[in-house]
Amino acid sequence: MGKRPAATPIVHVNDGRVIVTEWRFAPGAETGWHVHAHDYVVMPLTDGTLLLEEPGGESRSAVLTQHQPYARRAGVEHNVVNAGDSDLAFMEVEIVEPQDRAG
């Protein structure tokens, strides 16, 4: 099996409170293994199917629907791969520092 192409991250905001990254994937492209340091929300910009490779050799599919967000907690470890035949994109919003609502 050949090496997969890398997904392309485009950081739109990184202000110390949130990080907003647009991820673009050609068919078969991957993020590479990573652990999420922050809670995050994903907003799909396109429909598509991801292959999520997880620790211990496990993997699963996740179907993305354009404009249907989902959220995950910090600590998620995986490699994200575009499992479809078309380009795929989503926005990832990481919550670096929650706003103090009492202030």
User: E strands of 26-102, at which residues?
Assistant: 34-35, 39-44, 48-53, 59-64, 70-72, 77-82, 88-95
Q: Which range is least confidently modeled, 14-18, 23-27, 67-71, 98-102?
A: 98-102
pLDDT given at position 97: 81
Enumerate the domain spans of the chain. Answer: 8-95
Chain center to CA of 70: 10
- Contact indicator for 42, 19 with CB cutoff of 8 Å: no
Q: State the pLDDT confidence band at 69, using cuts at 50, 70 and 90.
A: very high
d(CA 22, CA 9): 6
Task: Extract the tokens encoding 96.
Answer: 């670096």
Query: In CATH terms, is domain 8-95 a member of 3.30.1330.10?
Result: no
> What's the chain's average pLDDT?
94
pTM: 0.90
d(CA 44, CA 70): 9
